[in-house]
Amino acid sequence: MTKKTQREKRRYIMFELASEESFKREEIVTGIWDSCLEFLGELGASRTSLWVHEYEDNEGIVSCNTRSVDKIIVCLSLIKEIDEKATRIKIEGVSGTIKGLKRQRC
């Protein structure tokens, strides 16, 4: 196990999907990764430590390292369609913990 000081700090980004269509979690993950790969390239996307934690009822949470928050927000904002279905992603908040994000929502 790595020491706490060796681990990267993470930020959690809550987003809302604005679409009339419904999507499965796998479709959202693919859409987010496609956007990141297109915008940042393979090397840039791999350096973000991007991970989709939750997705339910058109709301989700992704995490990344602290250096990549702005890049991930841009990647999410650039998504215009997923699986040829029109959609937009709105950023709801950024926090250092998932609990803090959920507190912001209420």
Q: Which amino acid is at 17?
A: L
Quick: pLDDT tens for 5-37: 778 899 999 999 999 888 999 999 999 999 999
Quick: pLDDT tens for 36-88: 999 999 999 999 999 999 999 899 999 999 999 999 999 999 999 999 999 99
48, 70 Cβ separation under 8 angstroms: no
Say if residue 95's pLDDT is above 90. Answer: yes
Assign 1 a pLDDT band (cuts: 50, 70, 90): low
Backbone angles phi, psi at 49, to 5 degrees: 55, 40
Q: Give the tokens for residue 74.
A: 């841009």
Q: Domains of the chain by range and CATH? A: 9-98 (3.30.70.3250)
What is the DSSP-derived secondary structure letter of residue 96? S
Q: Which amino acid is at 77?
A: S
Burial class of residue 95 (count of CB atoms within 10 Å of its CB; 0-12, 13-18, 19+): middle
pTM of the model: 0.89
Mean predicted lDDT score pLDDT of the chain: 91
